[in-house]
Every structure is written in structure tokens, then in C-alpha cells.
Amino acid sequence: MIATRNSLPLSTSVEPAANALRHGMTARRFVAPDQADRFDAIRAHLFAVYEPASTEEVHCLEELALAQAQLYDVEVAAWERLEWEKSHARERFDRRMRDQFAKDLAACRENPFIWLDILAMTWLGTTHMAQVWAEIADHLERSPTSCPLDRIRDAVASQKSEFDVDRICFDGRWILQRHLAIAPDPQTELEAWLKCTCTGTDEPRDDQRSHARWLLDHAPDPATARRELLAKAVAERDRWALKANDLRSRYETDRDLAADRAVFYVPADEKATRESRLALRYLTAARNRVDKLDRRFEALRKLRPVRNLRQRNDFAIPAPPRAPVADTGQARKMADFAAMETRATAVDPESAAQASARAAADLEFEALEAELAAEEAAWAEQEARWAAADLERKSTKALDPKAIADDSRPSSGRRANPAEIARAFRRKNAKK
């Protein structure tokens, strides 16, 4: 069963990590004795498949193994609860169908001309009629006498005929004549039939007695009556059995559909409904936890290259501090680079290669800084020339397009992009 709030005693000596077990199957670190073997097997399988490469991955896989072990117990409990609900739903469906069949059978005995077709559309109704004719056939095969009168009444109703003497049809009279012919005491059986015809304390009328006596007088001999009634019983038994066989699959399908619709819901039983919904919540929570841990471990696996690179950088020999900006001698830089490469090679070949790459990148960066400083100086000189030209134009109040072209100033009059000025400066130097 699903563990609930009252499933464990309030006073317990287990560790605090097992406290969540009192409130359901949500404990994350406590391993129950019945889950230990399953936890070990799942943990060994996960470690063999994924091969954790860090402490975080080890902890994540252990939590995932525990969550999967707990999920197994939750799924088993939920499956047992589900099967219990389905079995009870099938029992309720069968009980409801039997009650409806009893009402239809009573109505069919009162008015078989209308209700027989309704009874013939149900599996229980056709099964009942097949059983009635089967009992009549078995009785006639074992004994030469007639069968009970209540079975003859249902057999007459199966022919859409009423059982009353006044309203019985041809097929019903045919069955009653042969039943009275093979009866041990035909007169006693005739009186019993007349009493079934009358209601309450009323006595049979004279016309009813005369009609029943006429049927008995015109009945065939007992041997012929028994043979004909037995053949009729066998034919009707097979006919109704065939109908019942066709309706059985539909009845079972309807019963299974009713059982599926009653999952996690028990009508007229609030307590059972609450327990079913609690089981569903536990199952959903357990599955969500397993999915969350699975996605967390996948994220950790994707970070393996970054983590490995970070570890290699942590153990690499740091690069020597760069020389001041004022000291830009190429000999000093080459000497520092050679000393650093010598120390790195003596410690670790891999670290030496990383240190060499870092030093080369530093030299390239310093060269770019020097080039940028030169471009900035040229840009400052060009700004000064522009300022002098502006002052000259303002003083003379005249424009000199040739001077503007020589200064390589943009025609729009706005401040140009430094990159464009640097390219123009390089082209000017190349022409010189």
C-alpha cells in the first residue's frame, strides 16, 4: 500500500533523512531495507553506463538511482491500487447489469411480445434463454417426465407468447400441449397452469378450464410429445447460445471501458477516492523527480569539456608579469619569453605548451597595442590640422576645397570614424 502520514509511528529512531518517509515515498537519502538491493543494482548499472567524471556527477547518479528505486515501489503500489479499482468497477458494472436484467426479465414475463426483443439485445438475456432451453433438453434426455413449470413459462415467453390461457399464442400452445402430455399427472399440471393464469385469489373461469381441457385432449401421445419437445429444446438452445456468443464480446468491452473510466475515482466512496488520488500524486511526484535528476545529469555531462579545460588551466604555470609600457625593448621581451619557456619545459610538457601559447598571444597583443597607439597619435595630429584649417577658414570667411581635399577630411563635415582615418593615413604613407 502507499505510505501515508499514519503509516509509521511518530516516535522513531531513524536518522532525520528518513523523516520524509512518514509523509510518503519522498525520502531522498534514506534507503529502506527492501530497497537496498534494488538501489545497489541500479547504482552499479548507472555507474557502468555513464562513468561519472566528477563528484557532482557521482552525487547526481546516486540520487537518480535512489529515485528510480523508490519509483519502482510507487509504481507497484499504484498498479495494485489501479487493479483494485478496476476489479471493483467491473463488479459494479456486473451488479448494475444483473439488476437491469432482473427488471427486463420480469417485464418480459408480463409482456413478452414487446420486451423479448429488448431482452434479446443483452448478453445476460440471451444467456438466460439459452440456459432455460438447455435445462429443458437435459431434463428430457435424463427423464421421460416433463420439466418444472417455471422453465416452461420462460420457454413460452421466448416465443413471444404470454402464459395466460386466454392470450397464449400458437407457439406457446404447442409447447404446453407437449408439456402436459408427458407430465406424470396431467390434471394436476393443468390446475397449476390455471392458477398461474389467475391473479390474487380469483378462481379460474369455466371458459378458461374448457380451453385448457381442449388443449390437453388434443395433445399428442407422450412418446411423440417428448421427442418433439426435445428436438425443439435443442434447436432453441443452439439459437440462443449463438446470440449469446455474439453479444459476449460487446458486454466484456463495455465492462472494460467502464473499468478504465473509473480509474482513480470510486463512486459513492470519498475515502477510497482520496486514497486513489493520493497514490496518483505520489506517482507523479516520483516520476517528476526521476526526470529532473536525469536532465540534471545530462547537463553535467555536457559541461565535462569545460570542466576539464578549467582544471588544466588551474594547474598550468602562470605567465610572467608583463614589462612596463615604457620598457618596449624587443630583447627584454625575448629574454622573458625564453626564460618562461625553459621553466615550463622543465616542469610539464603540456603546461609548457600552454605557457608558450599564452606568451605568444601576449606579444601579439602588445604589438597591436603599439600599432593602435601610433594610429591614435596620427589621429591627434590630423585633428590638429583640421582645427587649424577651420580657424583659417573662419578668419578669411572663404572656403578652400583644395585644402579640404589635401587634408583628407570627409565631405559631410562630421567627425569621421577612427578606422576610416587610420586607413586613409596608411594609404597616404604608402604613397609617400
Separation of alpha carbons 303 and 52, rounded Å: 12
Give the chain's mean pLDDT.
Answer: 77
pLDDT higher than 80, residue 282: yes
Those residues with Cβ within 8 angstroms of residue 94's Cβ, 6 or more apart along the chain or in another chain:
255
Count of helices and strands (H, E) across the chain? 15, 0
73-77, 411-415, 417-421: segment of lowest average pLDDT: 411-415
List pLDDT tens digits, range 214-243.
888 888 898 899 999 999 999 999 999 999
Q: Report the candidate in 145, 105, 110 with the shortest Cα–Cα distance to residue 129.
A: 105
34 and 249 in contact (C-beta within 8 Å)? no
Q: Quick one: fold of 16-99+267-300?
A: Helix Hairpins (1.10.287)
What is d(CA 105, CA 406) in angstroms, rounded to the nearest whole number?
A: 117
- In tens, the pLDDT along 340-370 reads 555 545 544 545 566 666 667 667 767 777 7
In the chain, the amino acid numbered 64 is L
Instruction: Look at the block and give the residue holding cell 553506463.
Output: 49
pTM higher than 0.75, yes or no?
no
Q: Are 29 and 17 in contact (CB under 8 A)?
A: yes
pLDDT at 126 over 90: yes
Return the C-alpha cell found at 369: 597595442
The residue among 272 and 298 whose pLDDT is bigger is 298
Q: Is the pLDDT of residue 66 over 80?
A: yes
pLDDT at 83 over 50: yes
Task: Classify burial at 43, counting beta carbons within 10 Å of its beta carbon; exposed 0-12, middle 13-18, buried 19 or more.
Answer: middle
Q: Are 108 and 233 spatial neighbours (Cβ–Cβ below 8 Å)?
A: no
Number of Cβ within a 10 Å radius of residue 159:
18
Amino acid (one-letter) located at 76 = V
Instruction: Specify the higher pLDDT residue, 91 or 407.
Output: 91
SS3 of the chain: helix, strand, coil, percent, to 5: 75, 0, 25
| CB 297, CB 61: distance < 8 Å | yes
Q: What phi, psi does 102 have (nearest 5°)?
A: -60, -40
Q: Is the dihedral of CA 165, 168, 172, 173 positive or negative?
A: positive
The residue ranges of every structural domain in the chain are 16-99+267-300, 111-261, 328-431
Q: Which tens digit of pLDDT belongs to each residue from 240-275?
A: 999 999 999 999 999 999 888 877 777 767 787 888
pLDDT value of position 246: 93
Exposure string for 118-144, b = 16+ CB within 10 A, e = fewer: ebbebbbbbbbbbbbbbbbbebbeeee
DSSP code, position 158: T
Q: How far apart are CA 235 and CA 51, in angstroms?
A: 74
